[in-house]
Amino acid sequence: MRSWTLTRRTHTNLRTLFDLSILSFILIALSIARVSGDDYPWTYDNDLFGGPDFWGLLDKKWQMCSKGKMQSPINIDPASLLYDPNLSAIHVDKSIVASELINTGQMPRVRIINTIRWPSINISGGPLNPYRYRMQRMDIHYPRGTLSGSEHSIDSKKFPMEIQMIAFNSDLYRNFSSAVVSPHGIAALSILVQIGKKTNEELLKMTIATSSIPFKRKRVELMELRPWKMLPHKADYVTYEGSMTSPGCHETVTWVIVNHPIFITKEDLESWAALQQTITQEAEPRYIAPNFRTLQDPHGRIIRTNIRHRFKENDTECKKRLNDTWYRSNPNRTEAYTRSKAIHRRRHSIKHHSVVDLF
């Protein structure tokens, strides 16, 4: 009798544990299923179940996050850049846009509003030819408590901030939703941000606006934003084929990373770090930052550049600057090619204007 009682009790305990596990699974499924739109149950915190290492498990539509072989972001190795003479300059329309800054809970995002008075702007040229890509939004990635907040890294070095201008192929697709899951669908123009004495004028507009969006779902209108003014004056860049850096990690993105940073003051960078994930203030604040995906395996992908390097044998001035040049395209580390002595002198004076080559 005693043996039978113990067996029955053990069976009851196992049944209870089984029921609890089933209940937990159902609750997780329901919590995921009831979320729609931009309110995804995901985070950039790898210590949580919704972190980047688990994105591929949260939704079957996000399996590319764990199974894809062309994922982003990646480290840009200057030694592996391949010069492509057919890469033309990138063009961004010089138009003022209607936009709003939104706290999504995962990141601050600038949404470009397409209106009759303020039409959206196009990105074209370079690896995007022959298509035009309509700018949809700008995603901002940054740190908290450190100066390493960018998604991409250059020669294993991260930057304090990365601004990603995301655009969809308007020649082939009617909207962003169709383009993001389709070939040649998305262009991502990445601008790396370094600490400096003065914040870029357009970035400053966005920084000031962060005080109006401290919590998730808060939004504020941005007045007369000029996205092209966040681009460095030089046309040098690298490009590769990759993916979105948030779920579902669709491998439909042509990435263009410009070769020069823009700048933000340390004080302004800290303003971004104050943004929170929650809808209201909590006793223990949960901050958005750091909000970058971990680096992905390049899997042998070709990284092309439009930077061509030449120097003369007797050009001691150029040779002296080789140690200050961050980039290299095959086969040797050299100074960039210039067409005249005037341009040559101007290139060497750039150093005194806080313009830095990244590759």
Let me know: does 252 contact 243? Beta carbons within 8 Å: yes
Q: Cα-Cα-Cα-Cα dihedral of 275, 276, 279, 285, to 10°?
A: -140
What does each C-alpha distance from 41 to 4, 30, 44, 57, 219 come to in angstroms?
A: 46, 11, 11, 12, 20
Using CA atoms, how far apart are residues 69 and 62, in angstroms rounded to an integer?
14
- The two tokens of residue 131 are 């298509």
Which tens digit of pLDDT belongs to each residue from 159-183?
999 999 999 999 999 999 999 999 9
Which tens digit of pLDDT belongs to each residue from 38-89?
445 799 998 888 999 999 999 999 999 999 999 999 999 999 999 999 999 9
Closest CA to 148 of 42, 325, 269: 269
The helix (run of H) or strand (run of E) holding residue 344 is helix 341-349
240 is catalytic: no
Which tens digit of pLDDT belongs to each residue from 95-154?
999 999 999 999 999 999 987 788 889 999 999 999 999 999 999 999 999 999 999 999
The pLDDT-based confidence of 308 (bands split at 50, 70, 90) is confident
Which tens digit of pLDDT belongs to each residue from 187-208?
999 999 999 999 999 999 999 9
Let me know: does 147 contact 295? Beta carbons within 8 Å: no
Across the chain, mean pLDDT equals: 83
Predicted local confidence at residue 135, as pLDDT:
98
- The two tokens of residue 32 are 């995921």
Helical H runs in 249-294?
Answer: 266-272
Give the end-to-end CA distance of the chain in Å, rounded to a whole number. Answer: 79
Residue 29 main-chain phi, psi, to 5 deg: -60, -45
The pLDDT-based confidence of 36 (bands split at 50, 70, 90) is very low
Q: Which of 40, 44, 133, 173 is catalytic?
A: 173
